[in-house]
Amino acid sequence: MKAAVLREVGQLLQIEQVQIDKPGPHEVLIRTAAVGVCHSDLHFIEGAYPIGKPVVLGHEAAGVVEAVGAEVRTVKPGDHVITCLSAFCGHCNYCVDGRLNLCVSDEVKRGQDEPARLSLGGQPLPNYFNLSAFAEQILTHEHAVVAIRKDMPLDRAALIGCAVITGYGAVVRTARVEPGQTVAVLGCGGIGLSAINAALIAGAGRIIAIDTAASKEALARAFGATDFVNAATSDPVAAVRDLARGGVDHAFECIGLPKTAEQAFEMLGRGGAATVVGMIPPKQMVSIRGSTLLQEKRLQGSNMGSNRFPLDMPRLVDFYLQGRLKLDELISRRIRLEQVNEAFAEMKTGEIARSVIVF
């Protein structure tokens, strides 16, 4: 099959022929229909996060099941599915406690004594987030996919698998925003816009979008923002505290920088919660003023929106088909696999929401 391969940090992805194995007992083979180009992949391309190479990246996908292993019970050939990088085993302490997104069991991977799911020139490849979705096919564990209704367009469904579930889940599951509360969202990329949309669905009274690109204002307001702060021309903390009369109930950092995480905490009102959604590089530190903790402010992380994706994703599909979840507006352009490097170059400009590779 054709796939986009990263061979070295900082290099362009190469379109190569990669070999894919047959499904094991609990595995699913998917014909990829669409995959979003996510900023998380860029972190690995640039070396901010380590990974074995060569490797096929990509994780925000949707497609059609082609074949399943003998013990698969959750999907069948012909099903339309969304993938999710937070694969779960179903019986560890985290899974039993309902925190599927925190499962780190190796049971969803192949063992070292088994053949690799993917190989290149006879050499095994890492299976990136159990998916490696920048490819014509995906081979993964059944607990990394969920079946959805077939009237859902797959190019839009793909976005639910990462950007949407991460932004929506951070608001609804991690922070549990209540009707009437005030919300600030730092960063109006795919995840930030999804968080804004989720805050609207949750009934937030005021939703303040923050970005350094003035061009994002119209898009942020279309997704539900009531206010927009241009962080390139004004102090975002002062602006938000003024708009929210002292501070917001919830702030969501959707960029992945220590500075913006600190700003999210500083713009809280008493008893507020700042939720860091962005991927801050491992060795970077976040500093807060300890005295403000006496105001019962909280700084917390969110992993993949604290999702329970077998429940959440079909619901989000329903929201889209009801007109409540905005996905069409999230797609800046549809591209071919061969244009993946162009998509990453455009991502760095900060001017687009999401590029989607369509097969």
Report pLDDT digits (tens) over 136-148: 999 999 999 999 9
Q: Is 26 domain-assigned? A: yes
Q: Is 352 domain-assigned? A: yes
pLDDT, position 351 = 77
Size (the chain), residues: 359
List of residues 6+ apart from 92 with CB closer than 8 A: 103, 105
pLDDT, tens only, 159-177: 999 999 999 999 999 999 9
Q: What is the DSSP string of 67-118?
A: EE-TT--S--TT-EEEE-S----SSSHHHHTT-GGG---GGGS--TTS--SE
Q: Is 169 domain-assigned? A: no
Shared domain for 19 and 120, answered yes or no, is: yes
Residue 298 has pLDDT above 80, yes or no: yes
Q: Provide the 10 A C-beta neighbour count for residue 104.
A: 11
Shared domain for 146 and 79, answered yes or no, is: yes
Radius of gyration of the chain (CA): 20
Domain termination site, one of 301, 323, 341: 301
Is there a catalytic annotation at residue 40? Answer: yes
Shared domain for 81 and 123, answered yes or no, is: yes
Q: What angle do CA 265, 238, 252 make, to 5 degrees?
A: 35
pTM: 0.94
Q: Provide the 10 A C-beta neighbour count for residue 98.
A: 10
State which residues form the domain around 127. 2-161+306-358
Token pair for 36: 């979003």
Question: What is the domain-level CATH number for residue 191?
Answer: 3.40.50.720
pLDDT, tens only, 177-212: 999 999 999 999 999 999 999 999 999 999 999 999
Residue 346 has pLDDT above 80, yes or no: yes
Q: Is 167 domain-assigned? A: no
Confidence of residue 66 (pLDDT cuts 50, 70, 90): very high
pLDDT, tens only, 23-62: 999 999 999 999 999 989 999 999 989 899 999 999 999 9
| Strand segments (E) across the chain | 2-6, 14-17, 19-20, 27-37, 55-56, 60-68, 80-83, 118-120, 123-125, 137-141, 145-148, 182-186, 206-211, 227-230, 248-253, 268-276, 298-301, 333-335, 355-358
Shared domain for 55 and 123, answered yes or no, is: yes
| Among 43, 92, 105, 119, the one annotated catalytic | 43
Shared domain for 11 and 93, answered yes or no, is: yes
Q: Is 251 domain-assigned? A: yes
Shared domain for 203 and 297, answered yes or no, is: yes
Shared domain for 31 and 147, answered yes or no, is: yes
Shared domain for 283 and 317, answered yes or no, is: no
Is there a catalytic annotation at residue 254? Answer: no
Residue 122 to residue 202: CA distance in whole angstroms: 50
User: Shortest CA distance to 302 belongs to which of 101, 115, 44?
Assistant: 101
Shared domain for 115 and 198, answered yes or no, is: no
pLDDT, position 44 = 94
Confidence of residue 218 (pLDDT cuts 50, 70, 90): very high
pLDDT, mean of residues 80-98: 96
Residue type, 36: G
| Among 26, 38, 95, 355, the one annotated catalytic | 38
List of residues 6+ apart from 261 with CB closer than 8 A: 253, 274, 276, 278, 280, 286, 299
Q: Is 170 domain-assigned? A: no
pLDDT, tens only, 310-338: 999 999 999 999 999 999 999 999 999 99
| Among 84, 103, 162, 188, the one annotated catalytic | 162
Shared domain for 289 and 316, answered yes or no, is: no
Residue 103 to residue 91: CA distance in whole angstroms: 9
Residue 156 has pLDDT above 80, yes or no: yes
Q: Is 149 domain-assigned? A: yes
Residue 122 to residue 124: CA distance in whole angstroms: 7
| Tally of domains in the chain | 2
Question: What is the domain-level CATH number for residue 331?
Answer: 3.90.180.10
Confidence of residue 213 (pLDDT cuts 50, 70, 90): very high
Question: Sheet containing 14-17: which strands, arranged edge to edge?
Answer: 14-17, 2-6, 55-56
pLDDT, tens only, 276-297: 999 998 889 999 998 889 999 9
Shared domain for 9 and 156, answered yes or no, is: yes
pLDDT, position 76 = 98
Confidence of residue 353 (pLDDT cuts 50, 70, 90): confident
Residue 349 has pLDDT above 90, yes or no: no
Is there a catalytic annotation at residue 38? Answer: yes
| Among 26, 39, 59, 143, the one annotated catalytic | 59
Shared domain for 196 and 157, answered yes or no, is: no
Q: Is 171 domain-assigned? A: no
| Among 26, 40, 84, 141, the one annotated catalytic | 40
Going from the C-alpha of 99 to that of each of 95, 164, 188, the distances in angstroms are 5, 18, 27
pLDDT, position 352 = 78
